[in-house]
């Protein structure tokens, strides 16, 4: 029997829970939130939907009762306040650090063997906080950002080329931020054919730029953070874990010398399976990509320092 807990019943958390349930990724999905009735209501809504969509996943909604999350295989953390138009992910750190640290400790008390997938922003720093505050092995703390950013990269590549999005392959590494993510245009392909055969350098630069502000674009349009793509991206990471899929997905991982970086959680391609992050893939970067990665790491470290300055860790 497999079990996943999603902490936070906002739009991202509820979408993640719905994707997990509809795809029958786990035998049971628990949705928990501090707000009275929110998770129960959303899970009841999903259960009613199962009558017509024919999934059989057990759905549990609860208000701040972590005992019901016991023995979860994976815990997805989406808790925190969402971005508003004009806000950066980094501006959320003060509030969200306290929230994430609290919910992670409560979940870990009931599921000591769980793998944690961190979605809360600023994601790289919240994943770093989770790792440092819990002492968990680094393979069991995963930052979801690269999976989401890569899906947005593939979206913009498909729109620019007219290709079927399922034929498009591309990854984004670096920090999960509007100025820190690095869409690897040099590695992107359509059915194995380099995208440079379909798009000019100017067009590729626009795709990369659109990808980097993909989240901010949606925040501007919606008035709050996006939820469909983030929720689905988190669910895809969970599915790779529980299905032992050995998929290569760019995710936040704790580096200890890889890519020339130490003591940092940042997006890199990793192999995800039943043990969480099972292997890091060190790909050859261009000189420009290497410089961008170093700048991205420096920016992430600057945000991480706030955790120490405020005694969060």
Write out the catalytic residue numbers. 176
What sign does the CA torsion over 159, 189, 240, 152 have? negative
25 Cβ contact partners less than 8 Å away, ≥ 6 residues apart:
2, 4, 19, 57, 235, 238, 239, 242, 243
How far apart (Å, rounded) are the C-alpha atoms in residues 23 and 18? 8
Return the axis-axis angle of helices 145-161 and 214-222, rounded to nearest 10°: 90
Residue 313 CA, chain-centre distance (Å), reads 22
From the list 218, 113, 99, 110, the residue with the least C-alpha distance to 156 is: 218
Whole-angstrom Cα distance, residue 172 to residue 252? 11
């Amino acid at each position: 029997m497999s079990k996943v807990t999603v902490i936070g019943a906002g739009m991202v958390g509820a979408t993640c829970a719905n994707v997990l349930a509809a795809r029958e990724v786990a035998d049971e999905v628990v949705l928990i939130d501090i707000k009275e009735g929110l998770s129960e209501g959303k899970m009841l809504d999903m259960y009613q939907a199962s009558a017509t969509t024919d999934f059989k996943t057990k759905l549990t909604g609860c208000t701040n009762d972590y005992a019901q999350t016991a023995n979860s295989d994976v815990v997805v953390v989406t808790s925190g306040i969402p971005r508003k138009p004009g806000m950066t992910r980094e501006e959320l750190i003060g509030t969200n650090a306290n929230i994430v640290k609290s919910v992670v400790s409560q979940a870990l008390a009931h599921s000591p063997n769980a793998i944690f997938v961190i979605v809360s922003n600023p994601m790289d720093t919240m994943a770093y906080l989770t790792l440092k505050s819990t002492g968990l092995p680094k393979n069991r703390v995963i930052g979801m950002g690269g999976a989401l950013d890569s899906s947005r990269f593939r979206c913009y590549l498909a729109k620019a080329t007219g290709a079927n999005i399922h034929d498009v392959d591309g990854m984004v590494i670096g920090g999960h931020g509007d100025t820190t993510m690095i869409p690897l245009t040099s590695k992107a392909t359509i059915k194995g054919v380099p995208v440079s055969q379909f798009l000019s350098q100017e067009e590729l630069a626009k795709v990369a730029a659109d990808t980097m502000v993909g989240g901010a674009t949606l925040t501007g349009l919606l008035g709050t953070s996006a939820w469909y793509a983030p929720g689905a991206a988190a669910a895809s990471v969970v599915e790779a874990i529980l299905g032992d899929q050995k998929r290569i997905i760019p995710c936040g991982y704790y580096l200890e010398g890889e890519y020339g970086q130490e003591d940092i959680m940042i997006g890199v391609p990793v192999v995800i399976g039943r043990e969480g992050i099972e292997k890091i893939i060190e790909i050859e970067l261009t000189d420009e990509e290497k410089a961008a990665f170093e700048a991205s790491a420096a920016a992430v470290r600057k945000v991480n320092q706030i955790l120490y300055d405020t005694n969060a860790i």
